[in-house]
Structure 1
Amino acid sequence: MQPHPDQLAALVAIVEHGTFDAAARHLHVTPSAVSQRIRALESAAGRVLVQRTTPCRPTEAGQTLLRLARQTRLLYDEARDALGDSRDDSGGVPLDLAVAVSADSLATWFRPVMSDVATWSGTTLRLHVEDQAHTAALLRRGDVLAAVTSEPTPVQGCVVEPLGVLRYRPVAAPDFAERWRVGRGHDWARMPVVVFNEKDDLQHDLLAGRVGRGGPPPVVHRVPTSDDFREAVRRGLGWGMLPDPQALPDLAEGRVVSLLTRGHVDVRLFWQRWRLDSLALGTLTDVVRAAAREGLRRPPASP
């Protein structure tokens, strides 16, 4: 099959805007025209591509074509940009760069990437915040063109490269640590803990090594933003794993103390991106590499 660009654009618009009507408004066509394009695309593919739910969602086959659609859009946008057509500083169609990144990375070493992209004319950066263990799923669905991930195996159609290591340390407010002290250690089985969300296993993995797989402590607080998670730990709500860019300044200032003298967890991060000959994607990759060199630890040498 050879999908028409208008059909692919309709598929992207439906998924990104949720309904056929909203997609029609975005594309400046009638809802009937959007329906006809999707029916023609589904007829050519021989299967349903869009679940007519609220919001609309792509089927598994639709996700495959969605990746193609977004890749096609990126290359068309770059071609228009190179020809000086349809996009300038005063308006027009921006070049769309969708990237998945974890909240901790976004709050720390990734921030210089935003500073750099801010200088790019006519470019939209769309960040999808997701745990680094789950960002690869967004690549598989075609939701993003690149991702900071802890998954070293490339998604089909992608290339992967190591970025570095983000080190986490178990810390707590000084008063909190003293309150839960038992001898020369702490009461890990009962000490309240702060987690980011239901996908955050850093604290539970550390606990498993201290008290076994007996389940979480009685009190588990959930604070789902990186800066507020850090503040919750500093205010004594519970102990938590803070990344070094946040933990080290707080340790130096006495805002928190380390609960383990040598305890830390190193999370290896990778950059996965579509395998496309795209100038914008290549430039973004260079910027991410530079930020990682400055903000992440070097990965250990292979034996």
Structure 2
Amino acid sequence: MDLQLDQLRALDAVLTEGTFEAAARRLNVTPSAISQRIKALEEAAGRILVQRSKPVRATESGLAVLRLARQVDLLAGEAARELGEANRPAGRPARIPIAVNADSLETWVLPALSRVTGGICFELHREDEEHTTRLLRDGTVMAAITATATPVQGCRVEPLGAMRYQALATPDFARHWFPDGARPGSYAEVPMIQFDRKDDLQWRHLRATNPEPIDPPTHFVPSSTAFAEAVRLGLGWGMLPDLQTETERAAGTLVNIDGASRIDVPLYWQQWKLDSPALNAVAAAIGAGAVTALRPVT
């Protein structure tokens, strides 16, 4: 296949922006030029790469070429900067798309990424840690913080550590709903906070503490900050990370509802196998941040 850099960049722009018009604005060309480049790329590949829908979507073949396009664009940009003057590097900053679970994003990831200096922009995709590998597989991201230790094809994986969660509520909530303590079977009518329908942490706690299946009343709060606030306001109990609740637990304004249960969620860093200084710099910063913030994986 004879794939041209401008064609690959057009594919990346179309699938990132969702329309030919938005891709044209991003690359400062006309929509017709984008259409011509995509057509030429499809002819070179010998197959359809994008579905002309709104938004534009990649076909299975398109996802394979998209991964190549983003790898080539990253390496080409790094070469341009290396060839530029030391104080005026050529080309755009490297753009590193990363999938991050909400609690890591809320607590330790941004301080870790702040250690990365010069020539790198982050595109953060929030996704549950159990599902971030999907974004690696389809080429949406180059790296992910994930709960999956098995590497995605074409990726390498490194352990980061574990986030510890506790089943927390306010003291008033715990006294009202668990006057005799949180015992097996006592959770059935107790309001629960859940992040979204992918969030399994509360259910893991329920399966461990209740012998029979139950269906408690549930508030869905799809924001890490608002989730914690809902627990603090007494709307329900929820599994909250120690990193987010240290002050409240020390002050007694949040308590472990059964006094003992903990869930440690191991986290891993997966990234494309690509000799990219920018991607490796991000990996190093994430690794250093994890050493400070996370518990060792046992």
TM-based fold match above 0.5: yes
Number of aligned pairs?
296
Gaps of 5+ in 2: none
Change (3 A) 1:79 1:19: same
Gaps of 5+ in 1: none
* Shift of residue 215, structure 1, vs aligned partner: 4.2
**C-alpha separation in 2, matches of 1:268 and 1:210:** 21
Question: Could you tell me the percent identity over the aligned residues?
Answer: 49
DSSP-derived class of the 2:222 partner: coil
- In the alignment, does 2:11 pair up with 1:11? yes
* Match runs of 1:68-79 below 5 Å: 68-79=68-79
**Which residue does 1:183 correspond to in 2?**
180
> What TM-score comes out, normalization by structure 2 length?
0.94
1:263-296 per-residue CA deviation (whole Å, 9 max, x = no partner) reads: 1111110000010011111111111110000000
**C-alpha separation in 2, matches of 1:37 and 1:185:** 62
**Which residue does 1:152 correspond to in 2?**
149
**Which residue does 1:169 correspond to in 2?**
166
**Which residue does 1:142 correspond to in 2?**
139
> What TM-score comes out, normalization by structure 1 length?
0.93
Relative to structure 2, which stretch is displaced further, 177-186 or 275-284? 177-186
Contact 2:81–2:91 (Cα < 8 Å) also in 1: no
Relative to structure 2, which stretch is displaced further, 16-25 or 162-171? 16-25
Contact 1:88–1:121 (Cα < 8 Å) also in 2: no
Contact 2:181–2:258 (Cα < 8 Å) also in 1: no
The two structures, once aligned, show a CA RMSD in angstroms of 1.8
Change (3 A) 1:72 1:169: same
Relative to structure 2, which stretch is displaced further, 22-31 or 125-134? 22-31
Contact 1:24–1:34 (Cα < 8 Å) also in 2: yes
**Which residue does 1:207 correspond to in 2?**
206
* Shift of residue 212, structure 1, vs aligned partner: 4.3
Contact 1:169–1:247 (Cα < 8 Å) also in 2: no
Contact 1:88–1:122 (Cα < 8 Å) also in 2: no
* Match runs of 1:6-85 below 5 Å: 6-84=6-84
1:80-135 per-residue CA deviation (whole Å, 9 max, x = no partner) reads: 111127x959x962211111111100111213223213xx2332111111111111
**C-alpha separation in 2, matches of 1:224 and 1:212:** 28
DSSP-derived class of the 1:47 partner: coil
Change (3 A) 1:178 1:157: same
**C-alpha separation in 2, matches of 1:59 and 1:151:** 25
* Shift of residue 209, structure 1, vs aligned partner: 2.2
